[in-house]
Amino acid sequence: MISFKNIKKSFGSKAVLEGVSFDVKDGEVFFIIGASGVGKSVLIKHLVGLLYPDSGEIWLDGEEISRFDEKAMMPVRMKCAMVFQHSTLFDSMTCAENVALPLRKHKGLSVKDALAEAKKRLKVVHMAEFADRFPPELGDGMRKRVAIARALTLDPRYVLFDEPTTSLDPVSARRVDKLIRELSTNLGVTSIVVSHDLASIFTIADRIVMLYKGHVRLLGTPGEFKSAPDGIIQQFIHGRAQGPMDA
């Protein structure tokens, strides 16, 4: 289980998170929503030590990890994989080499063994035939699938998705949604998804948290969000230009 307790984070004089607290249960597909710049991506980066909170605690499987140094974070990063917003594959490596990198670095596999394992992982996301191609030769959807294969290569218990369907066509986006749902249903993987994609949110989410002005606005199921009387939530989930949310 993951717990964020009263997380505060500022960049210079700009306070982004002003006391965010919530729990994520094991095996659920948990969405973090909110307006652009509200700190959704910032929040999930705290979980894997890419950012550190100014104050507050982060608990992962009964361990407080918010002050772990880079070395102590390594087991956490094996347990919690991350799929970045723009896939962030390394252009100088082939798809197989990209997927093999965490195997070599985290598990110490040889290049040959890591590449063989990487090709198996690419097969799962239907990218085996592109194993020897370089990322710039692929479309956004294909790159995203390779990035997902790379994230899953260490068999993580938690996967953090940062806007996984952004810039994808609707078909590719629904395929990614299906994959996230299957990870939870079939493998018991806990997924934390940062997204603005309303179709994804109300199709595959078990629970949702909405951040607004540095605080949790509502935490609940998709049904609870749909029936919430809060005007700000209704404006956001219906994507209305006019309403009580600040411009």
Partner 1 sequence: MADQAEDEDKLETGIAADLGAATFDLARGAWEMYSVFVRTLYYVFRGKREKGATVRQMYEMGNKSLLFVTITMGFIGMILVYQSGLQTKRILPEFSQLGSTYLELLTRDLASSLTALMLATRVGAGIAAELGSMVVTEQVDALRMSAADPIDYLVKPRFLASIVMTACLIIWGGFVAYTAGGAVAYFAYDVAPRTFFSTRLVDHGDVITGLAKALAYGAAIPIVSSYCGLSAHGGSEGVGWATTRAVVNSSLAIILLNFFISVAAFVIFPK
**Contacts with partner 1, residue ranges (CB under 8 A):** 45, 48-50, 70, 74, 77-78, 81-82, 84-86, 88-90, 101-102, 105-106, 111, 150
Residue 16 CA to residue 52 CA, distance in Å, equals 13
Q: Give me the least distance between CB of 38 and partner 1, in Å please.
A: 18
Strand-strand pairing, 207-212 and 29-34 = parallel
Shortest CB 181 distance to partner 1, Å: 23
> In whole angstroms, how close is the CB of 162 to partner 1 at the nearest point?
8
Q: What does R_g of the chain's alpha carbons equal in angstroms?
A: 18
In the complex, least distance from residue 124 CB atom to partner 1, rounded to whole angstroms: 18
Report the candidate in 6, 43, 3, 22 with the shortest Cα–Cα distance to residue 162. 43
Distance (Å, rounded) from C-alpha 82 to C-alpha 88? 11
Tell me the two tokens of residue 139. 């479309």
Q: Which is nearer to partner 1, 156 or 214 (CB)?
A: 156
Minimum separation from the CB atom of position 233 to partner 1 (A): 29
Instruction: Identify which of residues 45 and 175 has a Cβ nearer to partner 1 in the complex.
Output: 45
With beta carbons less than 8 A apart as the criterion, state whether 224 and 218 touch: yes
Looking at beta carbons only, is 45 or 119 nearer to partner 1?
45
Nearer to partner 1, 70 or 246 (CB): 70
Backbone angles phi, psi at 186, to 5 degrees: -90, -35
CB of residue 220 to partner 1, shortest distance in Å: 30
State which residue, 90 or 221, has the beta carbon closest to partner 1. 90
Between CA 126 and CA 135 the distance in angstroms is 15
How distant, in Å, are the alpha carbons of 54, 98, 119 from that of 110? 39, 14, 14
Nearer to partner 1, 159 or 233 (CB): 159
